[in-house]
Copies of this chain bind each other. A is one copy, B any other.
Amino acid sequence: MIVILKPEAPEALVKDIVSHIESIGLQAHLSRGQFRTIIGVVGEEEKINPEQLKSLTGVEQVVPIMKPYKLASREFHKEDSVFEIPCPISGSVKIGGPHCLAIAGPCAAEDEEMVHQLAREVVAAGATVLRGGAYKPRTSPYTFQGHGEEALKWLRDAGKANNMPVITEVMDTRHVQVIEQYTDIFQIGARNMQNFNLLFEVGKTRKPVVLKRGLAGSISEWLMSAEYVLSQGNRRVILCERGIKTFETSLRYTLDLSAVPVAKSLSHLPVIVDPSHAAGDRQYVPALARAAIAAGADGFMIECHDCPSKAMCDGPQALLPDTFTHLMKDLTNIASVLGRKFSTTPKP
């Protein structure tokens, strides 16, 4: 940590800060320049509350040196994390390192038949994990909010029928238990990236967590949210970029693909991309999915629907299974340019 004082900071302040630093067992290095004095803190900087130092009159800036996250950081875990996710019937799929993961399915689990139908279609195209919403975060209180536990059952059954792990969103600390019973991966949505109590709760389970980046979440805040989960002992966190809010309104959000290599350089955790929610328009999903894999993403999450104009939510962004099948071929080829491979469904 480096403490930069204002030009007019009195000598007494310098002494106070130095003795405060030393009183907690750290060392203070003074650098007196022409205009300002700078105090370097040597030792475990997490012992100091930077806000308290910044609150002192005469302190201009406090520059942390260490990253605020630890377990999520590549400094403490040099190698890429590789996770195995067990399939419901037999075998498992991998993500991380050379392994890419293809997650696909409907936005919402609308009824039993559609879930089974789509699961068959996406597994045939090469997806290995089935997505589907049971509890839906909707902007309006008057719209469809998901079929809840019933939908969880449809998803579990369709997962079993195709040997696909299932991922679904959890929005409420009170739902963690019931969702845990039916699904294989928790999804934390963008709007809940900083729902800290929810992060603690999924951190206490031992199921993998896909943590979407918030619409205003900096990469550093996103990794801090991952740290919430990791701090509870759950090591399988998968980061998911899905677009941020910017001034550009031609698509729903601005997909920040630089977040892929940046997050991967700061963290050992796998990073996937959800081009469907970013675009909000199926016309742009294939280009963004290709770009995501080319940027080094460890997989993707894509929404499909057999009849988008009847979809209960997010129809405009859903791919037809046919388009998805073609896209999956391109993605496989691009991955292979980078020396990577999509995990395949283990034959039961």
Contact = CB atoms under 8 A, between A and B. Distances in A.
Interface of A: 2, 4, 7, 29, 31-36, 38, 40, 42-44, 46, 49, 51-56, 63, 65-66, 68-69, 75, 137-143, 145, 171-174, 191-192, 194-200, 214-216, 218-221, 224, 227-228, 231, 244-251, 254-262, 265, 278-279, 283-284, 287-288, 290-296, 308-316, 318, 330, 333-334, 337-338
A316 B258 contact: no
A139 B291 CA distance: 31
Contacts of A33: 42-43, 65
Given A42-B31, A291-B294, A311-B51, A174 B174 contact: yes
Given A196-B137, A248-B218, A66 B261 contact: no
A312 B279 CA distance: 37
Contacts of A56: 309
Number of copies: 4
B295 A288 contact: yes
Contacts of A250: 218-220, 258-259, 262
A177 to B, nearest CB: 12
Nearest to A315: B55
Contacts of A251: 258, 262
